[in-house]
């Protein structure tokens, strides 16, 4: 018996679901049904260490005989069970006819989580230091109880196939967000007969290394913001020549960081925070993900330029605290170091206001992180005629529409929709929840997506009171 068949035979026992609540401990939760499944950590050694996958089902409102929709979280390093409740409302239409299936990818959530003190990345709080990045990565790796070579996308795909077999489902429908689109595409490559339909939201192109284009894509999103402000009467009047003023602020912080005394937004005690350019650049990148936070950027930049650093410093501190628990760092590193780092040297670096720090950090970190060689076909486009819906935000700073266009070239039964004025993640915007449900019901032939044209970017904050009436 092959290793793959042996693994599936082990998964033949039906999943035992029990009532539970899912969601982050300090965030939104919701009722669900939960189960677990043991799998081999290293499938080349099926008699070796086994780990437990955490699984949840959010049942259809009136029962369903259709393939469940698998929600695949992003990151890499996010937990599906923890993150789904935040966007669950977007899938209410889907739940009229289908169950939602959640599997914490190995290394996240309840699936042998790989977490240690956050490593420094694009949002680091000091100047980049390659030696420190290597040292911190080595410390993190040493602290984790796992063979870190086996927490990659390929392992997640094999896990999902075992879950499907244990569930007794002939097929699955897949929804992947951000990095989750890489997992969804790889499952489609390995198990095409098991995929009924696939939705890719914020598309990562197969074979494209994370890192080299992060700076260029972030800069392109910022340029869209500059152009929008210049074309907006109120924004242009309040914040004239924003692009030049942004460059001046960057030069100022690169010359000399600014120390600001603020009221800590978490403890309400007085705190000092030093703003260098890397910390501010990290804020700009993350605020570019959502149209609601993009709307704040001209005001934050204007206040800082005029000497009022309070709001910018408070925003940086809040974001950094929130990001501490956003990703399971160990799983993130295992994916990036095996799948992306080996190809950074051959990639063309295109930087913007972030510079090349992301690529430099990944390269240094991965020198100290266990990794393994993966199948070469993971670098190739996924070719399929399975019905596919691709979603992009027009101003997405990390997975721009260009990515989806590249992927769609090899998907013969696909439709790519671009949401005007939107950032990273579209499925919960405007009429997109209805379109997702209609696609799952009828495919792309009858899908009328003209309602997406009604979407607009969020209006800019002119002052602390918000946009103009």
pLDDT in tens, 212-233: 788 899 999 999 999 999 999 9
Task: Give the range among 171-180, 265-274, 294-303 with minimum mean pLDDT.
Answer: 265-274
Three-class SS of 104-138: CCCCCCCCCCCCCCCCCCCCCCCCCCHHHHHHHHH
Q: What is the pLDDT of residue 120?
A: 45
Q: How long a stretch of residues is the chain?
A: 469
pLDDT in tens, 414-461: 999 999 999 999 999 999 999 999 999 999 988 999 999 999 999 999
Q: What is the pLDDT of residue 130?
A: 85
Q: What is the pLDDT of residue 14?
A: 85
At 176, the pLDDT band (50, 70, 90 cuts) reads: very high
Specify the pTM.
Answer: 0.93
At 338, the pLDDT band (50, 70, 90 cuts) reads: very high
Question: How many of the other CB atoms lie within 10 Å of CB of 256?
Answer: 8
For residue 348, give every residue at least 6 positions away whose Cβ sits within 8 Å of its Cβ, in sequence order, or none: 212
The answer on pLDDT for 2 being more than 80 is: no
Q: What is the pLDDT of residue 360?
A: 87
Partnered with residue 336 across adjacent β-strands are none
Mean pLDDT (the chain, rounded):
92
Residue 256 carries which DSSP code? S
Q: Tokens 């939201």 belong to which residue?
A: 201
**Per the omega criterion (within 30 degrees of 0), is the bond before 210 cis?**
no
The average pLDDT across 352-358 equals 85
Strand order in the sheet with 388-393: 18-23, 29-40, 50-58, 100-103, 69-72, 172-177, 195-201, 388-393, 414-419
d(CA 163, CA 15): 8
Domains in the chain (CATH in brackets) are 3-130+146-210+375-454 (3.40.50.1820)
Instruction: Specify the 3-state DSSP secondary structure of 54.
Output: strand
pLDDT in tens, 134-143: 999 999 999 9
At 347, the pLDDT band (50, 70, 90 cuts) reads: low
């Amino acid at each position: 018996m092959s290793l793959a068949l042996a693994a599936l035979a082990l998964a033949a026992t039906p999943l035992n679901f029990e009532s539970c609540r899912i969601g982050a401990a300090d965030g939104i939760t919701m009722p669900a049904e939960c189960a677990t499944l043991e799998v081999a950590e290293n499938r080349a050694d099926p008699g070796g260490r086994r780990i437990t996958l955490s699984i949840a089902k959010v049942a259809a409102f009136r029962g369903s005989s259709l393939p469940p929709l698998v929600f695949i979280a992003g990151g890499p390093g996010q937990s599906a069970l923890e993150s789904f409740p935040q966007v669950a409302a977007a899938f209410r239409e889907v739940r009229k006819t289908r169950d939602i299936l959640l599997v914490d990818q190995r290394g996240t959530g309840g699936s042998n989580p790989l977490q240690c003190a956050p490593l420094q990345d694009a949002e680091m709080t000091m100047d980049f230091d390659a030696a420190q990045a290597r040292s911190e990565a080595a410390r993190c790796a040493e602290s984790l109880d796992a063979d870190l070579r086996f927490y990659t996308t390929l392992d997640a795909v094999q896990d999902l196939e075992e879950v499907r077999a244990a569930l007794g489902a002939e097929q699955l429908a897949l929804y992947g967000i951000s990095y989750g689109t890489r997992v969804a595409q790889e499952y489609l490559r390995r198990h095409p007969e098991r995929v009924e339909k696939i939705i890719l939201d914020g598309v990562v192109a197969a074979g494209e290394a994370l890192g080299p284009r992060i700076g260029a894509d972030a800069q392109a999103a910022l340029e869209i913001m500059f152009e929008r402000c210049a074309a907006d009467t109120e924004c242009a009047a309040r914040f004239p020549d924003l692009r030049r003023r942004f460059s001046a602020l960057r030069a100022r912080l690169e010359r000399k960081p600014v120390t600001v005394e603020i009221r800590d937004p978490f403890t309400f005690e007085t705190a000092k925070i030093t703003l260098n350019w890397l910390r501010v650049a990290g804020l700009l990148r993350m605020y570019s993900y959502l149209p609601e936070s993009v709307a704040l950027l001209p005001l934050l930049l204007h206040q800082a330029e005029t000497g009022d650093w309070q709001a910018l410093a408070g925003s940086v501190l809040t974001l950094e605290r929130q990001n501490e628990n956003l990703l399971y760092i160990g799983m993130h590193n295992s994916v990036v170091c095996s799948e992306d780092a080996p190809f950074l040297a051959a990639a063309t670096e295109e930087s913007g206001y972030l510079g090349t720090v992301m690529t430099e950090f990944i390269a240094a970190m991965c020198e100290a992180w266990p990794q393994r060689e993966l199948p070469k076909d993971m670098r190739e486009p996924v070719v399929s005629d399975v019905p596919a819906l691709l979603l992009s935000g027009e101003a997405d700073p990390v997975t721009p529409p260009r990515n989806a266009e590249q992927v769609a070239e090899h998907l013969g039964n696909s439709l790519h929709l671009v949401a005007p004025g939107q950032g990273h993640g579209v499925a919960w915007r405007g009429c997109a929840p209805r379109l997702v449900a209609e696609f799952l019901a009828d495919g792309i032939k009858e899908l009328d997506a003209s309602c997406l044209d009604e979407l607009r970017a969020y209006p800019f904050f002119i002052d602390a009171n918000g946009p103009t009436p």
